[in-house]
C-alpha cells in the first residue's frame, strides 16, 4: 500500500511504520555518542517533516516542493528505500482513459508559441508537457507558430524557438504556422457568414467595448449586426482586398450579446492590418484573431489534445462553438495551471522592456528567465526537464521557489561538471623548502564520475591561495591556514605557515611556508593528519580570466505584484564582475557548453564572448543556496 504525497514521490505505509519503530527505539536509547544523537535527531526531524508535508499537500501550500526535497534527502541519508513510482497527472489520466476506451488510437499534441519573443522557463514546462505526453503515449507533437500578428513577429524569434525546443531534447513531427492556414481560415470565415453566424461590424474598438456590457449586465447589439449575408460577404471580401483602412471594420461571430460568458458576446474573428508578414509578405491585410486561428488550426492538424494554460478556460466555449458550427474535426482543449517562479518575471512585454531599455544585455542575458539565458548561464537541458517534472501538472496556479530550479541544476552539475581550481582573491604563498623548479601532479576530473579520468596540474614553489583562506589570529576550530598551522593543498602536499610578510602599510602580501615532502596526495607516508584542504594554483603557470557572478534578477519574490514600476525592484547585485581570477592551466582548453565546478566556488561555464586570450566564465549557481542565508 502506498500513500501519494504530491508530484514528486510516493512513500510506502510500510516504510513509515518501520521508520516510526526506529524513532521509538531511538528515543528509548540514551544517545551516548554524537553519532547516536545525530541519527536520533534525523529520525525525529524526518517524522516531523513527513507529517508537515502531508499537511502542506492537503492545504495546497507552495511549500510542497521544498518539503519533498527534505524527505528525499533524509531518506537517502538514512538509507530508507523510497518508491519512485509516480501517479499519473490529470492529463495523463484523461489520455489513458481515451486510449483505453478507443476514443483515439494515438494522440496528437502541439506546442503553439507566438514568434514575438524568446521562450522562457514557463514555456519549458509546456514544451516538456506536450512533447512528454507523446513520448509516454503513442502519437506525436507538432510545433506550430501562432503568427497571426505581423506587427510583433520576427524570423529571429522563430529561429530561437526552434533552437530552444531542440536544445531541451525534443523534436517535432511537423513544423507548422498559423499562416499556413490563412486561406483555409478565410474560407471558414465565409462559411460562418453564409450560415448567418458572422457579420462585418463598422464600429470602432471603443464602440464595441461600450456595447459589450459587464459580467452582471447583458451587452447590446451592434447597429451592424443584422446586415444581410450578401452584404457581409461583399464587405469581408473587400476587407481582404485592402479597400479599407486599419481599424475601420472587423468580422465578428454572431452568437449572443447577453451570454453569461463575455467572450461569447459576438467575439471579433478578423481585423484589418496593413502590415508586412514575416512569411506571407503583403499577401494578406486581414488577420484572424487567436481565438479563431487556434481551434481551427488544431482541427486542420487533427490535434486530439490541445493543451493550454488556465486563462484559456473561458475561451474553451468559443473553441468548441466554432468547431461545431464549422463541422470540422473535433479537437478538444484542456487546461493546466501556470507555474510562476519567484524573483523574476515571465511576461514577454516586461522582458522586452528590460531588453529595449538596456537593463539587461539581451534576450540571452544570463540573468533572464529565457531558455537561451539559462543556457548561456550554464543550465543543462536535463536540469530544466527535471525541474519541470518535479513541479508537476495541476489545475491551480502556483508560485514555485526558484531555489528548486537551482537545486535541480546543482544535482546534475555535481554529476557531470569537471573540477578545476581557480583563485579569485590571490594571496601569494612561497614554499621555502621546495627545491624543485616544478612538478606535475595528478588530480581527478570528477569524483562523481570515474570515467571522467584525471588531469595533470603544475606545482611550483610559488602558489596562490584565496586570501580568505588565511587568518593571522584564528578562532578555535579554524582549519584553514594560520601561523604555525598545517593544511593540505588539494591533490598536492601538506604545508605549514612559518612567516607572514607585510608591506609598508601593514597589509599582508605574502606567506612563507614549508611543505612536507612525504605528504604527497595519493602517496602520503607522513602520518600527519590535517582537517583543512585548500585549492590553489601555481603562480608561474596560472592563467587569467574574467568571471561574471550572476544572481537573481529581482530582489523581491513577486516583482509584478509590488506597487509601482516592476523595474524598481531589480536586484542591483544581480551581476558582479571579477575582472581578474587565476586559473589552473587546464582551463586554457575550456570549450563552450562544457560545465565546470570551480572547487569550493560554484559551477561555471565559458561565455560566448570569450576569446583565445580573454577567457570569460559565467557562474551558473553556487555550491549551496546562499540566498536564504543572506536574507534575500
User: Over the stretch 409-455, which tens digit does the pLDDT of each residue have?
Assistant: 999 999 999 999 999 999 999 999 999 999 999 999 999 998 999 99
Burial per residue of 143-171, b for 16 or more beta-carbon CB atoms within 10 angstroms, e otherwise: bbbbbbbbeebeeebbebbbebbeebebe
State whether 388 and 264 are in the same domain.
Answer: no
According to the model, what pLDDT value does residue 69 have? 45
Predicted confidence (pLDDT) at residue 294 exceeds the cutoff of 70: yes
State whether 286 and 370 are in the same domain.
Answer: no
According to the model, what pLDDT value does residue 33 have? 52
Here the cell at position 121 is: 522557463
pLDDT in tens, 578-591: 999 999 999 999 99
According to the model, what pLDDT value does residue 172 have? 98
Whether residue 99 lies inside any domain: the answer is yes
Q: How many domains does one find in the chain?
A: 4
State whether 321 and 352 are in the same domain.
Answer: no
For the chain, the average pLDDT equals 89
Dihedral of the alpha carbons of 441, 599, 35, 526, in degrees to the nearest 10: 20
According to the model, what pLDDT value does residue 265 have? 98
pLDDT in tens, 382-413: 999 999 999 999 888 888 999 999 999 999 99
According to the model, what pLDDT value does residue 48 have? 52
According to the model, what pLDDT value does residue 624 have? 87
pLDDT in tens, 455-509: 999 999 999 999 999 999 999 999 999 999 999 999 999 999 999 999 999 999 9
State whether 136 and 59 are in the same domain.
Answer: no
Closest CA to 595 of 376, 443, 328: 376
Whether residue 322 lies inside any domain: the answer is yes
DSSP 177-193: EGGGGHHHHHHHHHHHH
Q: Give me the mean pLDDT over the 260-289 stretch.
A: 97
CA atoms within 13 A on the CB side of 212: 16
State whether 107 and 238 are in the same domain.
Answer: yes
According to the model, what pLDDT value does residue 613 have? 85
DSSP tag of 147: -
Whether residue 8 lies inside any domain: the answer is yes
Q: Which domain holds residue 60?
A: 2-78
Whether residue 629 lies inside any domain: the answer is no
Least-confidence region, from 28-42, 77-91, 274-288, 553-567: 28-42
According to the model, what pLDDT value does residue 62 have? 38
According to the model, what pLDDT value does residue 86 have? 73
Whether residue 227 lies inside any domain: the answer is yes
State whether 96 and 214 are in the same domain.
Answer: yes
Whether residue 626 lies inside any domain: the answer is no
Q: Give me the mean pLDDT over the 218-239 stretch.
A: 98
Where residue 295 sits, what CATH number does that domain have? 3.40.50.620
Whether residue 141 lies inside any domain: the answer is yes
CB 3 within 8 A of CB 12: yes
Rounded to whole angstroms, the Cα distance separating 240 from 255 reads 23
State whether 167 and 310 are in the same domain.
Answer: yes
Where residue 498 sits, what CATH number does that domain have? 2.40.240.10
State whether 145 and 229 are in the same domain.
Answer: yes
Q: CA Rg, the chain, in Å?
A: 31
Looking at 315, 336, 357, which one is the last position of a domain? 336
State whether 390 and 331 are in the same domain.
Answer: no
Where residue 572 sits, what CATH number does that domain have? 1.10.1160.10
Q: Give me the mean pLDDT over the 30-35 stretch.
A: 50
Give percent of the chain above pLDDT 90.
Answer: 82
According to the model, what pLDDT value does residue 324 have? 98
Please give the positions annotated as active site.
114, 338, 348
DSSP tag of 213: -
Whether residue 343 lies inside any domain: the answer is no
According to the model, what pLDDT value does residue 20 have? 54
Helix (H) / strand (E) containing 2: strand 2-4
pLDDT in tens, 124-181: 999 999 999 999 999 999 999 999 999 999 999 999 999 999 999 999 999 999 999 9
Helix (H) / strand (E) containing 486: strand 486-489
State whether 150 and 271 are in the same domain.
Answer: yes
Looking at 514, 535, 556, which one is the last position of a domain? 535
Give percent of the chain above pLDDT 70.
Answer: 85
State whether 188 and 326 are in the same domain.
Answer: yes
Rounded to whole angstroms, the Cα distance separating 499 from 516 reads 16
439 DSSP β-pair partners:
459
pLDDT in tens, 76-87: 444 444 445 678
According to the model, what pLDDT value does residue 50 have? 55
Looking at 336, 368, 395, which one is the last position of a domain? 336
State whether 581 and 470 are in the same domain.
Answer: no
Amino acid at each position: 500500500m502506498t500513500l501519494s504525497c504530491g508530484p514528486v514521490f510516493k512513500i510506502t505505509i510500510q516504510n513509515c511504520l518501520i521508520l516510526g519503530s526506529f524513532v521509538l527505539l531511538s528515543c528509548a536509547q540514551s544517545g551516548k555518542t554524537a553519532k547516536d544523537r545525530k541519527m536520533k535527531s534525523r529520525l525525529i526531524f524526518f517524522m516531523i517533516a513527513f507529517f508537515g508535508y502531508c499537511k502542506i499537500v492537503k492545504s495546497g501550500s507552495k511549500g510542497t516542493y521544498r518539503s519533498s526535497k527534505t524527505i528525499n534527502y533524509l531518506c537517502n541519508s538514512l538509507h530508507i528505500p523510497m518508491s519512485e513510482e509516480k501517479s499519473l497527472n490529470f492529463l495523463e489520466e484523461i489520455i489513458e482513459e481515451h486510449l483505453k476506451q478507443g476514443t483515439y488510437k494515438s494522440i496528437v499534441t502541439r506546442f503553439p508559441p507566438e514568434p514575438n519573443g524568446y521562450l522562457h522557463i514557463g514555456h519549458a514546462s509546456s514544451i516538456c508537457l506536450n512533447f512528454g505526453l507523446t513520448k509516454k503515449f503513442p502519437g506525436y507533437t507538432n510545433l506550430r507558430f501562432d503568427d497571426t500578428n505581423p506587427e510583433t513577429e520576427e524570423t529571429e524569434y522563430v529561429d530561437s524557438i526552434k533552437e530552444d525546443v531542440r536544445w531541451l531534447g525534443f523534436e517535432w513531427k511537423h513544423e507548422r504556422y498559423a499562416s499556413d492556414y490563412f486561406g483555409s481560415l478565410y474560407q471558414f470565415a465565409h462559411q460562418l457568414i453564409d450560415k448567418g453566424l458572422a457579420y462585418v461590424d463598422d464600429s470602432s474598438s471603443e464602440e464595441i467595448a461600450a456595447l459589450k456590457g459587464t459580467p452582471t449586465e447583458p451587452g447590446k447589439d451592434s447597429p451592424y449586426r443584422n446586415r444581410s449575408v450578401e452584404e457581409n460577404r461583399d464587405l469581408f471580401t473587400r476587407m481582404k482586398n485592402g479597400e479599407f483602412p486599419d481599424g475601420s471594420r472587423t468580422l465578428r461571430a454572431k452568437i449572443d450579446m447577453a451570454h453569461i460568458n463575455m467572450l461569447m458576446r459576438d467575439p471579433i474573428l478578423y481585423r484589418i492590418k496593413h502590415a508586412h508578414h514575416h512569411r506571407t509578405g503583403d499577401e494578406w491585410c486581414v488577420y484572424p484573431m487567436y481565438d479563431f486561428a487556434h481551434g481551427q488550426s488544431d482541427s486542420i492538424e487533427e490535434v486530439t489534445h490541445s493543451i493550454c494554460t488556465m486563462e484559456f478556460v473561458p475561451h474553451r466555449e468559443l473553441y468548441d462553438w466554432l468547431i461545431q458550427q464549422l463541422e470540422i474535426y473535433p479537437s478538444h482543449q484542456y487546461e493546466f495551471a501556470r507555474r510562476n517562479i519567484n524573483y523574476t518575471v515571465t511576461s514577454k512585454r516586461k522582458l522586452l522592456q528590460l531588453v529595449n531599455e538596456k537593463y539587461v544585455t539581451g534576450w540571452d542575458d544570463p540573468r533572464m528567465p529565457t531558455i537561451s539565458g539559462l543556457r548561456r548561464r550554464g543550465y543543462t537541458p536535463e536540469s530544466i526537464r527535471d525541474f519541470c517534472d518535479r513541479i508537476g501538472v495541476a489545475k491551480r496556479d502556483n508560485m514555485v521557489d526558484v531555489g528548486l530550479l537551482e537545486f535541480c541544476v546543482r544535482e546534475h552539475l555535481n554529476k557531470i561538471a569537471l573540477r578545476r581550481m581557480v583563485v579569485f582573491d590571490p594571496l601569494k604563498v612561497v614554499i621555502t623548502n621546495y627545491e624543485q623548479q616544478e612538478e606535475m601532479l595528478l588530480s581527478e576530473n570528477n569524483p562523481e564520475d570515474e570515467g571522467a579520468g584525471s588531469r595533470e596540474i603544475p606545482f611550483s614553489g610559488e602558489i596562490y591561495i584565496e586570501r580568505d583562506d588565511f587568518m593571522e589570529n584564528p578562532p578555535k576550530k579554524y582549519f584553514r591556514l594560520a601561523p604555525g598551522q598545517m593544511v593540505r593543498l588539494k591533490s598536492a602536499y601538506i604545508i605549514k605557515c612559518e612567516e607572514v610578510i607585510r608591506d609598508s602599510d601593514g597589509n599582508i602580501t605574502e606567506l612563507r611556508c614549508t611543505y612536507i615532502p612525504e605528504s604527497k596526495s595519493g602517496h602520503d607516508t607522513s602520518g600527519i593528519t590535517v582537517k583543512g584542504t585548500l585549492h590553489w594554483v601555481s603562480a608561474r603557470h596560472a592563467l587569467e580570466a574574467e568571471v561574471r557572478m550572476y544572481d537573481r534578477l529581482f530582489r523581491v519574490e513577486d516583482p509584478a505584484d509590488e506597487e509601482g514600476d516592476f523595474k524598481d525592484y531589480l536586484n542591483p547585485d544581480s551581476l558582479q564582475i571579477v575582472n581578474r581570477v587565476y586559473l589552473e592551466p587546464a582551463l586554457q582548453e575550456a570549450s563552450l557548453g562544457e560545465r565546470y565546478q570551480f572547487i569550493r566556488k560554484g559551477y561555471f561555464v565559458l561565455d560566448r564572448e570569450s576569446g583565445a586570450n580573454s577567457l570569460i566564465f559565467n557562474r551558473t549557481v553556487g555550491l549551496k543556496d546562499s540566498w536564504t542565508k543572506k536574507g534575500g
